[in-house]
Structure 1
Amino acid sequence: MLRSLLLVLGLFAGVLAFVALALLAGMLLFAGAAEANIRGDERAGVSSGVSADARSDSAAAAPVVSSASTPRLVTLYQGATDSAVALGVTPIGVVDAWMEKPTYRYLREALDGVEHVGLETQPNLEKVAWLDPEVIVATRFRHERVRPLLEQIAPTVFSSTVSDFKASLTLVAAATGREDRAEQLLACWDDRVADLRAKIATTLGDAWPQKAAVVRFKSDHVRLYSSGFAGSILEELGFRQPDAAADQGWGMKLTSEENIPALDADVIFVLLEDDPAIHDTYRHWTAHPLWQRLTATRADRVYEVDTVNWIMGGGILAANAMLDDLYRHYGLAPQALSPSCALGDALGGEPSSVKEPSAIKEPSPTTDEGAA
Structure 2
Amino acid sequence: MNLKAKMDFSFSFPNIILDKRQHLLYEGLKRLAESINKRSFVENILAKFKNSKSPKGVYLYGGVGCGKTMLMQMFFATILAGKKFIHFQNFMQELHYKVHSLQSANGDDKTVQNLAHEIASGAIVLCIDEFEIKDITDAMLIMRLFSFLSQNGVFIFLTTNAAPDDLYKDGLQRELFLPFIENIKKNFMVLNLDNEKDYRLEKVASTRNKILFPINEENNTAFNRIKNSLCSSEELYPGKFAVFGREVIFANTHQNILFTNFDELFMQDFGYADYVKLCQRFGIIVLEGVRRVAEDETNIIIRVINFIDNAYFYKVLLFALLEAEPSLIYTSGKRLAEFQRAVSRLNEMNSSDEKLEQP
TM > 0.5 fold call: no
Structure with the bigger RCO (C-alpha within 8 Å, sep 6+) is 1
If each structure's strand is expressed as a fraction of its own residues, which one has the higher value? 2
